[in-house]
Amino acid sequence: MKIKYLVLALLPLSLIACQSAQNITDSVIRQINTTAVKNLTEYTWSYQPADTKKPIVLSFSKDRLSIDSGCNRQGTTWKVENDLIITGDMFSTEMACEPALMKQEQFAADLLQKREISFDVNTSNPDQPSLVISDTKGQKYTFIGTMTPEAKYQSEGKTVFLEISPETKSCVGVTPMTCMQVREIKYDNKGIKTYAHKDWSLYYGQIEGFKHNPEQRVIVRVKRFEIKNPAADQPSQADVLDMLVEQELVKKP
């Protein structure tokens, strides 16, 4: 009888130990999933197929995976569970594309649509992180990551619209240089634009992702980020190209 009572007394302790071990396991799994989500969302991921000139680019947001495969925009829902990327039904715009890009879009859909996807993400080299995705047959494809501006500057950024003149002017920063001329634009809720200042101002530095064309007047949407603790010769903010809003060819006299 004493043995029976002893077993009954030890049984709750065994259950507590099992529950504790399960809780630790669940916590570790949650941490692994959280780390994977963080790594996926802090980069855009590019894969260049051999038979096209345009890469497939993946952008993971909070719960949406956006896919740019060269022509149409594709997307799906996503989450990470049990070391797998779980995706939902694919949606897409429906523009006509050249055959090679249509084939590439179908490849992207087959790779990412409504699947439990085996993957491996490696960010040990922050300058060239990699994301390896396996298809349904086990074939692996390696995507190379580029850090998002939000991760780089550790903020969400402010949306700013800039008109950029085709003409540049000489200016002096740390050394003599050539500056773009810009003026900020505001849009009201009806889409009507006004100028914050009608006069052009010199733009010291570069807009990340934008290449100036002396034969084009353009309006761009940029994300403006504050740079924390800039060096004495560095700007206090960075502009990153978000979208080309308007462009107009300018005839030279």
**121-145 pLDDT tens trace:** 999 887 889 999 999 999 999 999 9
Give Dmax over CA atoms of the chain in angstroms. Answer: 108
* pLDDT of amino acid 21: 52
167-171: which pairs have CB atoms within 8 A and are 24 or more residues apart? 167/214, 168/212, 168/214, 169/202, 171/202, 171/204
* 237-249 and 216-226 beta bridge pairing: antiparallel
Count the Cβ atoms, other than its own, within 10 Å of residue 203.
20
Burial call 157-173: b when 16+ CB within 10 Å, e when fewer: beebbbbbbbebeeeee
| pTM of the model as a whole | 0.75
* pLDDT of amino acid 4: 46
Segments in the chain below pLDDT 70: 1-33, 232-233, 252-253
Q: CB of 196 within 8 A of CB of 185?
A: yes
* pLDDT of amino acid 173: 78
* pLDDT of amino acid 159: 95
* pLDDT of amino acid 6: 44
